[in-house]
């Protein structure tokens, strides 16, 4: 079953690398700039490299994104994770507000926090089969705590949330598309989760059609 993944283009994403990595995971990848583009996809990815001020560029896609998140597997990457929250110390303005909380500047002396960092996994389907989770980070802001946190990492001695999971919604502060084998495995897990969700939806739709057909036959 071919999976269609839409990567949202809002002028700040690491789109090329994310698309190439997902294609290696055997997904059919397209670039989404409109609500109609999101409707056609089975799963959605919100990538990001840049400032929280990019939130204003998502304004026209806000409603389609929120509608999609309620129905389809969704993955936010780096800035794409931060934009799922309400606000940030980095810039004024509100973002998608799917998670409550504020993105805060890291307090470690050396910023941005760049390089390979170990991730301590608390839970999460995204990390299935990854024995030594080490990923590539590049950021100066992060979420310090969240009830939806699935893993944590450190910048210097400071802990921060490395990933989130809630039902069909996933987000990571690191860049899986730049994280070698671990990153590809994580993206493969996301593709697998989304494929299973698509299969369940197809089975449900088929079951509903059969019930309707049976009801019509009885009423004939």
Contacts of 105 (CB under 8 A, 6+ apart): 89, 90, 111, 140, 141
In the chain the first and final C-alpha atoms are separated, in Å, by 35
**Residue positions annotated with a catalytic role:** 78, 175, 177
Spatial contact of 194 and 42, defined as CB atoms under 8 Å apart: yes
CA-based max dimension of the chain? 76
Spatial contact of 142 and 155, defined as CB atoms under 8 Å apart: yes
Instruction: Determine if residue 101 is left, alpha or beta; phi over 0 gives left, psi from -120 to 50 gives alpha, anything else beta.
Output: left
Q: Which residue has the tokens 């080490």?
A: 134
Spatial contact of 134 and 182, defined as CB atoms under 8 Å apart: yes
């Amino acid at each position: 079953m071919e999976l269609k993944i839409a990567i949202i283009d809002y002028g700040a994403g690491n789109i090329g690398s994310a698309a190439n990595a997902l294609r290696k995971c055997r997904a059919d990848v397209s670039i989404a700039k409109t609500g109609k583009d999101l409707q056609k996809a089975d799963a959605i990815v919100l990538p990001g490299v840049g400032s929280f001020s990019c939130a204003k560029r998502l304004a026209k896609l806000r409603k389609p994104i929120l509608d999609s998140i309620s129905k389809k597997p969704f993955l936010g990457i780096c800035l794409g994770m931060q934009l799922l929250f309400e606000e940030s110390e980095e810039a004024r303005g509100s973002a998608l507000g799917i998670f409550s909380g504020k993105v805060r500047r890291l307090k470690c002396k050396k910023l941005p926090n760049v390089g390979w960092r170990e991730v301590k996994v608390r839970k999460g389907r995204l990390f299935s089969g990854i024995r030594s989770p080490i990923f590539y980070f590049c950021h100066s802001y992060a979420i310090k705590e969240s009830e939806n946190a699935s893993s944590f990492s450190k910048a210097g001695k400071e802990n921060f949330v490395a990933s989130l999971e809630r039902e069909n919604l996933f987000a990571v502060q690191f860049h899986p598309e730049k994280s070698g084998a671990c990153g590809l495995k994580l993206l493969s897990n996301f593709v697998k989760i989304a494929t299973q969700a698509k299969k369940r939806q197809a089975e449900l739709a088929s079951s509903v059609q059969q019930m309707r057909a049976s009801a019509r036959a009885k009423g004939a």
